[in-house]
Amino acid sequence: MSQFSENLKNARKAKNMTQLDLASKLFVTKQAVSKWESGKGYPDPETLPLISEILEISIDELMGKIMDKVENKKIDLERAKFKKRFILLVSFLGVLIITSLTLVLFFTSRAYQGYKKINQIESTVNVYFPIKGKLETYDYNTWSKYDVFISISEMGYIVFTKEKEIELFEKDLQTNPYWIDFASNLDEIIPYQASIYTNVCDYYMVYNLDLNEYNLLPSQSGNYNYIFLCYQKENNRLIYFKYQMPFYRGGE
């Protein structure tokens, strides 16, 4: 079947006409119309303008030079659907990218790192900090010149600024048995960088990470890892040190 015969048939049906109806208007036989629609023949050139007028279709469309109007509408509809889906996809990807960048910035931010570090300290030494994300850090590398035998890996402090924070933390001070207010016998395992704070600390603790012991001198000589916490009640500041320090017991 040729493009012309198919277009003629579709145009006739679109006008709800039978082959006989069209033949009557064209003053030809039904068989002639059937032959045109089956691709076995073509109308005379003089008949084409009349077919175009009766079926309300241009000769160009009828001859297949321009796609059928119905097909054009279908294509336009599909294009509109595709455009809509494309816009939705681009919008979704845009939101996804912005969300991802926001999460990356958050998880690499100073606030998140402070939050993460405070949680680590809490879980390690079993102390409750009613504040998150506000751990200020010291540059501990500048302190290494004081003692070449001591390796400080972290230094920082937390300041409690709200009454509720202070109240909750001081409650931990009163109920947590690991906080002490005087421990001169621990000077041997508190590095100089930290010991300068002990005179202005109201409470502090020393935790041996290797032995899982609080506020005790090791029973054997060795190089141990510690966490030192010092709370200054006057300015509501908690100072934090993590370090490695050798300990020598007499006679060993």
Distances (CA, A) of 164 to 112, 121, 168, 203, 206: 22, 20, 6, 19, 26
Residue that terminates a domain, selected from 30, 51, 66: 66
Residues 22 and 126 placed together within one structural domain of the fold: no
Residue type (1 letter), 166: I
Q: Do the beta carbons of residue 189 and residue 217 sit within 8 Å?
A: yes
**Helix 19-26 and helix 48-55, axial crossing angle in degrees, nearest 10:** 130
What CATH number corresponds to the domain at position 44?
A: 1.10.260.40
C-alpha to C-alpha distance for 99 and 213, rounded to whole angstroms: 44
C-alpha to C-alpha distance for 140 and 147, rounded to whole angstroms: 12
Residues 21 and 127 placed together within one structural domain of the fold: no
Residues 129 and 54 placed together within one structural domain of the fold: no
C-alpha to C-alpha distance for 43 and 142, rounded to whole angstroms: 100
C-alpha to C-alpha distance for 155 and 140, rounded to whole angstroms: 6
Residues 28 and 149 placed together within one structural domain of the fold: no
Would you say residue 84 lies in a domain? no
C-alpha to C-alpha distance for 191 and 153, rounded to whole angstroms: 13
Residues 231 and 142 placed together within one structural domain of the fold: yes
Instruction: Look at the chain and report how many structural domains it folds into.
Output: 2
Would you say residue 45 lies in a domain? yes
pLDDT for residue 66: 44
Residues 137 and 62 placed together within one structural domain of the fold: no
What's the token pair of residue 191? 């590095």
Q: Do the beta carbons of residue 48 and residue 59 sit within 8 Å?
A: yes
Please, where are the H alpha helices in 28-158?
30-37, 48-55, 59-63, 69-107, 110-125
Residues 22 and 146 placed together within one structural domain of the fold: no
In tens digits, what is the pLDDT along the chain, a chain of 252 residues? 678 888 888 888 998 999 999 888 888 899 998 988 888 888 888 888 888 888 888 888 888 764 455 556 666 777 788 788 888 888 888 877 887 666 555 455 555 566 677 778 888 888 888 876 577 777 666 666 666 677 888 888 888 888 888 898 888 888 989 998 876 678 888 877 777 777 778 898 999 999 999 999 999 999 999 999 989 888 888 888 888 889 988 765
Residues 243 and 120 placed together within one structural domain of the fold: yes
Residues 9 and 124 placed together within one structural domain of the fold: no
Strands of 151-159's sheet in order across: 136-137, 151-159, 237-247, 222-232, 203-208, 213-214
Q: Which domain holds residue 173?
A: 110-247
Q: Provide the whole-model pTM.
A: 0.53
Would you say residue 88 lies in a domain? no
Residues 125 and 57 placed together within one structural domain of the fold: no
Residue that terminates a domain, selected from 14, 49, 66: 66
